[in-house]
Structure 1
Amino acid sequence: MGKIHSIETMGLVDGPGIRTVLFFQGCSLRCQYCHNPDTWDLKSGKEMNVTEIIKILKRYQPYYGETGGVTCSGGEPLLQAEFLIELFKQCKKEDISTCLDTAGYGNGDYNELLEYTDLVLFDVKHYIPEMFRKLTGGNFNIISNFLDALKKSGTPIWIRHVIVPGLTDTEEHIRRLKDYISGIPNVEKIELLPYHTLGAKKYEKMGIDYPLKDIEPMDKEETKKLQNMILNIES
């Protein structure tokens, strides 16, 4: 059984094509800019088995076309690696494309999981261990272990990185980020995402202090300039 927070049936931004997005419950990181604190607790969420989920996926399979499929996001799906392997194995039997949206912060047999994964959306929190810990509270070595397995697997990768004013928005940061990404093979796409404050109300409702309450949302045009910079596009 897996713990699922919620399901989006017609997702358009979490991988190619039209996708069913499964938001897994549970996350060990505490990213300062997280907008889904309601996904942190692994004990919460709805218990579902693979058969139940496959039934939902097959209902929407006609919409997937040649590029769509299922994306497992979170939370952090890798905290439920065994269930994820079981689900992706069944998806392959049903000819459903599989995408893993992850920060790489979990446990389990990454090698087996990546055998059944068509695409990884890899959320790079930071490339410097000390800054990674400051931003997320996590251990950078855990990310490195996943990345090692990802490199060996040859699985196609889309890189995602959140641009936060005063934290990750300088040109120097972007240059060093680009250097870090250059050491990762099979990267097909890089997306810089502007920080937003849409999750702030969730913190208030849950009685949790919002870490970046004094930070304004990232300007989308400035984010676009940095995006062009990392892709070597003249703006």
Structure 2
Amino acid sequence: MTGRMHSLESMGLVDGPGVRAVVFLQGCPLRCRYCHNPDTQAVTGGTEITAEELTRRLLRFRPYFAGGGGVTFSGGEPLMQPEFLAEMLRRLQENGIHTCLDTAGAGRGDYEAILSHTDLVLFDVKHEDPDGYQALTGGDIRQPRAFVDAVGRADVPMWVRHVVVPGLTDSDAHMAALRDYIKTLPQVERVELLPYHTLGMGKYAALGRPYSLSGVPEMDKARCAALEQQWFSSWNRRL
């Protein structure tokens, strides 16, 4: 079985617990206004790789996983390659590797096969409101909601992450609505607010595409941390 991989990070420290290898799979159906990796969106991009070869490469990092690390599949949107993703998760779990899925829940496929070999879901909540979700991503919020239902049935722990953009997702009204939405999600162990940054702007220019948030300043990191403490500390203090 083969899949398409955009890139591989060998020493990730922010995409799940411990030291992790992070596999960025190619393809994403969303067009998030703040996406900093537009080069991962096309399903035909990246490099073709077999499950056997990728497994061999990832197992080389096993010594770094001691103390709770493992492998995280990100993207793009990893659910865009559901069969390949399920196969890789199965292979890694069979080798005793902790598996993590970093997803916006925007793909399709056999969620049961995927989640049965997933130890942790990093769920990227784009927006809690259907109209806000569509305006921000171009997608349909019913897809991530179906994925969330599957996570609940599979009883997989979840960390929620949300990008905070000045003028778009940083108001108290939005934070209150987001908190109410997160209360409905299953198995939430942590909530992380991620400050919007502009590091991907140059990629849009290289691709000949306009950047819709041009002129929007980066989110102040201290204010983002304060919002996380104010609105979501009830989850994070349990850690």
TM tier relative to shorter chain: over 0.9
**In 1, distance between residues paired with 2:179 and 2:94?**
37
Q: In the alignment, what sits opposite 1:6? A: 7
Q: Is the 8 A contact 2:148 2:186 kept in 1?
A: no
Residue equivalent to 2:40: 39
Q: Deviation of residue 35 (structure 1)? A: 0.2
Work out whether residues 119 and 157 of structure 2, in 8 Å CA contact, stay in contact via their aligned partners in 1.
yes
One-letter amino acid of the structure 2 residue matched with residue 44 of structure 1 = G
Alignment correspondent of 2:159: 158
Equivalent in the alignment of 2:178 = 177
* Whole-Å separation in 2 of the counterparts to 1:211 and 1:227: 26
Q: Provide the aligned length of Structure 1 versus Structure 2.
A: 233
Deviations 1:148-189 (A, max 9, x none): 101111101000000000000011111110110001121111
1:190 aligns with 2:209: no
How far apart in 2 are the matches of 1:111 and 1:182? 23
Q: Which runs of 5+ in 1 are unaligned?
A: none
Shift of 1:232: 4.1
Report how far residue 66 of structure 1 moved: 3.2
Counterpart-to-counterpart distance in 1, 2:94 and 2:154: 20
* TM-score, length basis structure 1: 0.97
- 1:5-62 CA-to-partner distances (Å, cap 9, x unmatched) read 0000111110000100000000000000000000011011101111111111111101
Distance 1:199 1:220 in 2: 17
Q: Corresponding residue for 1:144?
A: 145
Counterpart CA distance in 2 for 1:67 and 1:129 is 36
Q: Distance in 2 between matches of 1:221 and 1:89?
A: 39
User: Per the alignment, in what secondary structure is the counterpart of residue 139 of structure 2?
Assistant: coil
Matched, 1:110 2:111: yes
Work out the CA distance in 1 between the residues paired with 2:85 and 2:159. Answer: 19
Q: How far apart, in 2, do the equivalents of 1:162 and 1:53 lie?
A: 30
**Partner Cα distance (2:75, 2:232) in 1:** 27
Which of structure 1's runs of 4+ aligned residues deviate more than 2 A?
A: none
Bigger mean CA deviation after superposition, 118-127 or 224-233: 224-233
AA of the residue aligned to 2:117: Y
- 1:202-226 per-residue CA deviation (whole Å, 9 max, x = no partner) reads 0011110001001000111111111
Deviations 1:108-144 (A, max 9, x none): 0001210100000000000000000000000111111
2:90 maps to 1:89: yes
**After superposition, where does 1:202-213 map in structure 2 within 5 Å?**
202-213=203-214
* SS class of match (2:211): coil
State the TM-score, normalized to the length of structure 2: 0.96
Structure 2, unmatched stretches of 5+, are 235-239
